[in-house]
Amino acid sequence: MKELIYHRNFMPAMKRFNDAIAVVDGRYTATFREHAQRVFRLAHALQHQLGIGRGDRFAVLALNSHVYLELYHAALLGAGIINPMNLRLSPKELEYIIRDSGAEVVFVDKHFAKALDAALKIGEVTLVRHIVLIGDGEGDETGIHDLVYENLLAAADASIPAEPEEEDPAVLMYTGGTTGLPKGVVLTQRAQMLNLYHTRIHRPIESEGTAILIQAPMFHVASTSTVVSAYVIGARTVLIPAFQPEIVLSEIERNQVTATTMVPTMIGMMLSHPGFSPDRIRSLKYLSYGASPMPMALLEKLDKVAPQLELYQGYGMTECNAVLTLLKPDDHRRGGKYLRSVGQPVPGVELSIRDSEGNELETGEIGEVCARGGNFMSQYWNKPEATKEAFKDGWYHSGDAGYVDKEGYLYLVDRVKDMIISGGENVYSIEVENAISNHPDVSQVAVIGIPDRTWGEAVHAVVVLREGANVTSDAIIAHAREQIAGYKVPKSVEFRRSPLPLSAVMKVLKTELRAPYWKDQEASIA
């Protein structure tokens, strides 16, 4: 029997919650039935007006909105394969993704029409047949679009797409490409549904009164769990165009938001915002975080200002459709060593720690984190060799270094590529960052390896101090030395006035931090 498709969740939710509010996007609201009707019209328009078949790709280059949610849901119902594009990519990178994916239609909002126009002029991309402007048709100074989204829906019928197969692709999501050209990750109906089931086993959220805020960019896999699940469980989906601390606080207050997902950098920015007060986030019951390490000092601050929160840490990647492990609220309450872990595997996911030769390591030994489960991608788009390499010996190789303890908790020590080898010793940057981040005057820290004639690589810390602080590099080094072994302590500290460079999902871009030091070296900075 076919079960692992979005129809089997979307259709019952529409009938059960029909007149309840499903979507809030600024002044825009829609009930479950109204949202579904717009999705059905979009599905009809994709097929009959835009010529998109079930296996065809359509790209989206836009800020978060209810339209983005409709585009996702149409794809999940089998009306095409959605290709959400990273908003921070250069025109050249966008052109590559459009060409590589074979996207025949691009949906774009007014904010990114210029970027799309520049991308399509590179190499004279002719694959795109239609460009649809999200919104009412105003604001595209380039005039690049030939269709307007609302007009498209108005001319379409509300018809429910035929059910897809479990193995049919629904999402084509490109990785960041920090070590080369971006790779398209193909995520099937089955992968989407299994991720939904895996996470809901550990995160059962009641539907009544639940409002989930999407503030992470919708082109990123961190948002897809909410995109897939909120409608299914009968929750209100509250959307903001992009993360801004004051807007987040205002929307939590206005809509009595009960759950959201943030990366640690976003949490820190929200708590440090001048307009923050604990009362403004009192409605929040559930906070999920992940994508980068959570400094212990920030976790302690969060517990102090919002003790009501049920905290979940998720660890995963685009290739596994988001989640491999979860650190649950009970784990957070236990504290101690558990707060240094990223939790245990979700049901259906198996972990294996392996050495560079592919041998499985014993409990407690550090190696590459490998995993397998039904929620993984089916392939890298048009890259069979890369797919084969990623799933070597039947396991997905994450590129993360870590170990598993006797209770099955996974502890990450670094990205394999971020590990620093100094004098033959492995230094894991996360460990050094944790030692520095709990200094009361440190706002941000990133630790990288830089060239050293004696040691090969030297540990180097890049630090942003809190406003008004005046700390020396010697003080930072001394603070770190109290907590970690001498060979791990930074040999040098660089202070910056401006925030560290961040990716679109608020991860520190260590590639940019390393580049000036390695540009004249033979070593790779990737």
Tell me which long-range contacts 419-426 makes (C-beta under 8 A, separation of at least 24): 420/447, 420/448, 420/449, 420/457, 420/459, 421/449, 421/456, 421/457, 422/449, 422/452, 422/455, 422/456, 422/457, 422/458, 422/459, 422/487, 423/454, 423/455, 423/456, 423/487, 424/456, 425/487, 426/366
β-pair partners for 227: none
Cα 102 from chain centre: 24
| Mean pLDDT, residues 226-237 taken together | 93
Same domain, 377 and 428: no
* Tens-digit pLDDT profile for residues 329-349: 999 999 888 988 999 999 999
Question: The tokens of 312 are what?
Answer: 């979940």
Q: 93 lies in which domain range?
A: 7-242
| Mean pLDDT, residues 31-41 taken together | 98
In three-state form (DSSP H/G/I as H, E/B as E, the rest C), the secondary structure along 360-425 is ECCCCCCEEEEEECCCCCCEECCCHHHHHHHCHHHCEEEEEEEEECCCCCEEEEEEHHHCEEECCE
Same domain, 424 and 475: yes
The dihedral through the CA atoms of 471, 477, 480, 481 has a sign that is: negative
Same domain, 366 and 428: no
The dihedral through the CA atoms of 504, 50, 187, 32 has a sign that is: positive
Same domain, 225 and 88: yes
Amino acid at 228: V
pLDDT for res 10: 96
pLDDT for res 506: 65
Cα 263 from chain centre: 8
Task: Give whichever of 42-46, 227-231, 478-482 has the largest mean pLDDT.
Answer: 42-46
Q: Which DSSP letter does residue 502 get?
A: B
Neighbours of 164 (CB within 10 A): 22
Considering the domain boundaries, does residue 250 fall inside one? no
- Cα-flanking dihedrals φ and ψ of residue 302, to 5°? -65, -40
Total of domains in the chain: 3
C-alpha–C-alpha distance, residues 194 and 67, integer Å: 25
* Tens-digit pLDDT profile for residues 420-469: 877 666 787 877 888 898 899 999 999 999 988 777 789 999 999 988 88
Environment class of residue 363 by beta-carbon count within 10 Å: exposed (0-12), middle (13-18) or buried (19+)? exposed
pLDDT for res 525: 32
Among 369, 391, 415, give the residue marking a domain's end: 415
Same domain, 38 and 115: yes
* Tens-digit pLDDT profile for residues 172-226: 999 864 445 789 999 999 999 999 998 888 776 666 789 999 998 999 888 888 9
Are 270 and 257 within 8 A, CB to CB? no
Q: Which DSSP letter does residue 439 get?
A: S
Helices (H) and strands (E) in the chain, counts: 16, 26
pLDDT band at 363 (very low <50, low <70, confident <90, very high): very high
Considering the domain boundaries, does residue 335 fall inside one? yes
H-type alpha helices, 424-521 = 429-437, 473-481, 510-518
Same domain, 89 and 183: yes
E strands present in 48-90: 57-61, 81-84
C-alpha to C-alpha distances, 311 to 203, 276, 399, nearest whole angstrom: 10, 19, 26
pLDDT for res 177: 47
pLDDT band at 395 (very low <50, low <70, confident <90, very high): very high
Among 415, 431, 455, give the residue marking a domain's end: 415
Q: Is residue 32 over pLDDT 60?
A: yes
Of 492, 481, 428, 483, nearest in space to 458 by CA: 492
pLDDT for res 240: 97
Among 393, 415, 437, give the residue marking a domain's end: 415
pLDDT for res 40: 98
Q: Which residue has the tokens 């030692």?
A: 435
pLDDT band at 526 (very low <50, low <70, confident <90, very high): very low
Neighbours of 318 (CB within 10 A): 20
Q: Is residue 68 over pLDDT 90?
A: yes
Same domain, 46 and 62: yes
* Tens-digit pLDDT profile for residues 157-177: 999 999 999 999 999 999 864
Same domain, 141 and 27: yes
Q: Is residue 396 over pLDDT 70?
A: yes
Same domain, 337 and 237: no
Tell me the pTM. Answer: 0.83
* Tens-digit pLDDT profile for residues 91-131: 888 999 999 999 999 999 999 999 999 999 886 666 799 99
Same domain, 404 and 428: no
The residue among 519 and 439 whose pLDDT is bigger is: 439
Considering the domain boundaries, does residue 277 fall inside one? no
pLDDT for res 486: 82
Considering the domain boundaries, does residue 401 fall inside one? yes
Exposure string of 383-408, with b = 16+ CB inside 10 Å and e = fewer, is eeeebeebbeeebbbbebbbbbeeee
- Cα-flanking dihedrals φ and ψ of residue 22, to 5°? -100, -35
SS3 label, residue 253: helix
Same domain, 397 and 428: no
Q: Which residue has the tokens 């990623």?
A: 390
pLDDT band at 298 (very low <50, low <70, confident <90, very high): confident
CATH number, position 339? 2.30.38.10
Considering the domain boundaries, does residue 525 fall inside one? no
Among residues of the chain, what percentage have pLDDT more than 90? 65
Considering the domain boundaries, does residue 247 fall inside one? no
pLDDT for res 91: 86
Cα 173 from chain centre: 11
pLDDT band at 522 (very low <50, low <70, confident <90, very high): very low
Count of all residues that appear for the chain in the document: 526
C-alpha–C-alpha distance, residues 384 and 183, integer Å: 11
pLDDT for res 524: 35
CATH number, position 484? 3.30.300.30
CATH number, position 112? 3.40.50.980
| Mean of per-residue pLDDT scores for the chain | 89
Considering the domain boundaries, does residue 280 fall inside one? no
Same domain, 398 and 443: no
- Cα-flanking dihedrals φ and ψ of residue 206, to 5°? -65, 150
Considering the domain boundaries, does residue 464 fall inside one? yes
